[in-house]
Amino acid sequence: MPRRSLPYALFALALAACGGADERFPTGEDALPVLATLADPGSAGARQLRAGDLAQARATYEATLGADPDRLAALNDLAVSYYVEGHLEAARRLLEEVVASGGPHEQQTALLNLGQLYALDGYADAAQAYLESARGIDPEGPEPLYAQALLADLRGDGAAARALVDEAVRLDPDGAARASFVYVHPEERQHLEALIAEASGDRAAAHALWRELAESRFASVVAAAGRRVALPEPAP
């Protein structure tokens, strides 16, 4: 997409997305909720998005891109705002443009978000491929490791999930990298917190989170929780 045409393409996407009903978030047996990632978590648009003001966040991102179409961090984060509201195809199209034209950081975040979209649609192998590609851009970045841990656990590979979380926490001891995450579904945050609690040895906190996750609307999350809540509750 030529840079000069990007604002017009965004306007067309906004009309198409905002003029129609939200797409239905997949919640069937194959749906694997992971997490979404912002490329610029400290921006004004990010603060508006986290506050739930999606219309203002989109307006901020679109204004940024209108002034400078090369600010592809804003394009990734605009895609996240569409995804949060359920406009999955609009989000996918924007993310593909970021992968095609962005720098390494923007490409990594867009690949993570494409992995999330494919995971939610139940395409676990495709999701894994996107997450691996994201990790390949910056092997020292913890964000892909967190996402890969969630996906591995939802696919039933608890050992891989634990190893990935251990490595993510080693690279992110103060948890700063998690500031870039957006949790579209509450289970995503709880699942990550449960894995981190397990990795830190806080069995009581992990068990409490798994008990909550056992009531999830996502079958994959219920299955992951069921592998833990079936174990004896840790002693106080």
Domain boundaries, the chain: 28-229
Please say whether the structural domain 28-229 has been given the CATH code 3.40.50.410: no
**6-18 and 54-67 helices, crossing angle to 10°:** 160
**Tens digit of each residue's pLDDT (9 = 90 or more) over 84-125:** 988 898 899 999 999 999 999 999 999 999 999 999 999 999
Q: Give the pLDDT band (50/70/90) at residue 145.
A: very high
How far is it, in rounded angstroms, from Cα 133 to Cα 233? 38
Q: Give the pLDDT band (50/70/90) at residue 222.
A: very high
Other C-beta atoms lying within 10 Å of the C-beta of residue 15: 10
Q: State in Å, rounded, how far the first CA of the chain is from the last one.
A: 58
How long a stretch of residues is the chain?
Answer: 236
The two structure tokens encoding residue 19: 């003029």
Residue 3 has pLDDT above 90, yes or no: no
Residue with tokens 């030529």: 2
Average pLDDT over residues 147-165: 97
Average per-residue pLDDT for the chain: 89
Return the pLDDT at 235.
53
Q: Give the pLDDT band (50/70/90) at residue 37.
A: very high
* CA proximity to 72, closest of 6, 11, 144: 6
The two structure tokens encoding residue 81: 């705002």
The residues, ordered by sequence, that sit 6+ positions from 130 with a Cβ below 8 Å of its Cβ are 111, 112, 114, 115, 118
